[in-house]
Amino acid sequence: MFGLLGKATKSLGVLAAAAALAGTVSTASAQETIKVGVLHSLSGTMAISETTLKDAVLMMIEEQNKKGGVLGKKLEAVVVDPASNWPLFAEKARELITKDKVSVVFGCWTSVSRKSVLPVFKELNSILFYPVQYEGEESERNVFYTGAAPNQQAIPAVDYLAKEEKVQRWVLEGTDYVYPRTTNKILRAYLIAKGVKEEDIMENYTPFGFADWQTEVAKIKQFGSAGKKTAVVSTINGDANVPFYKELGNQGIKATDIPVVAFSVGEEELAGIDTKPLVGHLAAWNYFESIKTPENEAFIKAWQAFTKNPKRVTNDPMEATYIGFNMWVKAVEKAGTVDPDKVIATLPGTKQANLTGGVSEMLPNHHITKPVFIGEIEDNGQFNVVWKTEGLVPGEAWSKFLEGSKNLVADWVKYNCGNYDTTKNACLGATK
């Protein structure tokens, strides 16, 4: 009996050891790659803008793997489609972090999608790189903002129009969600501080995917007929831009009459439009494909080879993705780990050459330094740069022109806080 028990016990021990070994092998296998989450809409109203960013991340992963990966491991993309559905962004983010075990996520376009996922990244202590211009008024420990803050896009654009185009009346035209409304709140306060009268500011919002622009464009035309130079500051997002610009052409609104400066229209959005009636209208970005540098030419060549399409265009959020991706790689290699706490601590101060000249740096407020360019639409769908900043502009998380924000600073190095009140000498939010 004892012998049988001994043999059984020994057999069980062998099985347990084998199971443990299998578990070890399985775990080792799971850890052979570093998983990178891609959280961009591939369907719905925002697919026109976001699909390109998914492809950009895939290209960068492929290129990094050719260099040997990161920390001796290959990168593996995990792509999901939140389908322009804002609550679904949060669900997909949770899935990427808990089920797929990604080490970082590159994703979101609209601010409402970013706001949707913020609690998830904070709760699960993961890292999001957000590559699109936004309204500011935010700095989260788990988020790195590589797109433009208002002082890196909206404010310079208004200054350009006032100085160079002698604009006196302003149409603030946007899609109805947080980014346009908050950006325009900042711009309204800024314009009034500059002496613009309330009656010379018109503000209007339309839903995502809005297509019937005839009445709205007629209102713009009427507002611009008061005898003062008028401009449209556009925060229209997604596929609504296509019928908006078509209607401008239909109603004969030329850039010489009422110039439009857009913050969300780049080369990708113009690719599906007849741009001849739009020549001279403007966009404010931190990158244009037309800018000639060796770095940009190499990037465009690599992009068109990757997509197997010699006509595929590049755009600003792609460059912001490129900068963020390379900063993440550098921080991981410096930290020697993908551990979120260590990577987050390492990222401030990380530098990466941008594609238009100059070197961007990740600041303690989790924003980066960026050049600012104003470009005119050309008939080939590209932009001719008509103005640029002399150097790189540091991104500001909080606006100096809003009463509740002007005393706030974000600093995750000195204060470990995203909204430190300099008058109260206190952090107004939770810290890690």
Give the model confidence (pLDDT) of 177-214 as tens digits: 999 999 999 999 999 999 999 999 999 999 999 999 99
Of residues 229, 248, 208, the one with CA closest to residue 377: 248
Identify the pLDDT of residue 432.
Answer: 59
Identify the pLDDT of residue 100.
Answer: 98
Q: Can you tell me the mean pLDDT for 271-297?
A: 92
Q: Can you tell me the mean pLDDT for 55-61?
A: 98
Clarify whether residues 16 and 58 are in a common domain: no
Span between the terminal Cα atoms of the chain, in Å: 60
Residue 277, C-beta contacts closer than 8 angstroms, at least 6 positions apart: 248, 249, 254
**Domain closes at, from 371, 390, 425:** 371
Listed range (14-23, 184-193, 215-224, 316-325) with the worst mean pLDDT: 14-23
| 27 vs 310, higher pLDDT | 310
Q: Is the dihedral of CA 183, 186, 187, 188 positive or negative?
A: positive
Starting at the earlier edge strand, list the strands of the sheet with 169-175.
201-206, 169-175, 230-235, 260-262, 282-285, 373-377, 383-388
Tokens representing 198 are 């309330």
Residue 45, C-beta contacts closer than 8 angstroms, at least 6 positions apart: 84, 208, 209, 238, 239, 240
Asked if the structure places residue 311 within a domain, the reply is yes
Tell me: pLDDT of 17 over 50: no
Tell me: pLDDT of 51 over 70: yes
Look up the CATH number of the domain holding residue 356. 3.40.50.2300
Residue 384, C-beta contacts closer than 8 angstroms, at least 6 positions apart: 290, 375, 376, 378
Clarify whether residues 1 and 52 are in a common domain: no
Tell me: pLDDT of 75 over 50: yes
pLDDT digits (tens, 9 = 90+) for 232-241: 999 999 889 9
Asked if the structure places residue 60 within a domain, the reply is yes
Q: Phi/psi at 49 (nearest 5 deg)?
A: -100, -40
Q: What's the CA angle centered on 285, arms 115 and 207, to 5 degrees?
A: 45
Tell me: pLDDT of 27 over 80: no
Asked if the structure places residue 180 within a domain, the reply is no
Task: Give CA–CA dist 73/252, Å, rounded.
Answer: 56
**Domain closes at, from 330, 346, 371:** 371
| 2 vs 325, higher pLDDT | 325
Identify the pLDDT of residue 23.
Answer: 41
Residue 428, C-beta contacts closer than 8 angstroms, at least 6 positions apart: 408, 417, 419, 420, 421
Tokens representing 341 are 């706490």
Please state the domain count of the chain: 2
Tell me: pLDDT of 265 over 60: yes
Q: Is the dihedral of CA 56, 62, 63, 64 positive or negative?
A: positive
Q: Look up the domain containing 140 and give its range.
A: 33-149+292-371
Task: Give CA–CA dist 376/423, Å, rounded.
Answer: 42
Of residues 407, 385, 387, 389, the one with CA closest to residue 397: 407
Task: Give CA–CA dist 152/285, Å, rounded.
Answer: 8
How many residues are given for the chain? 432
Asked if the structure places residue 300 within a domain, the reply is yes
Asked if the structure places residue 407 within a domain, the reply is no
| pTM, two decimal places | 0.89
Residue 431 binned pLDDT confidence (cut-offs 50, 70, 90)? low
Clarify whether residues 21 and 49 are in a common domain: no
Residue 276 binned pLDDT confidence (cut-offs 50, 70, 90)? confident
User: Would you give the DSSP letter of residue 392?
Assistant: P
| 271 CB-side CA count, 13 A | 13
Tell me: pLDDT of 129 over 80: yes
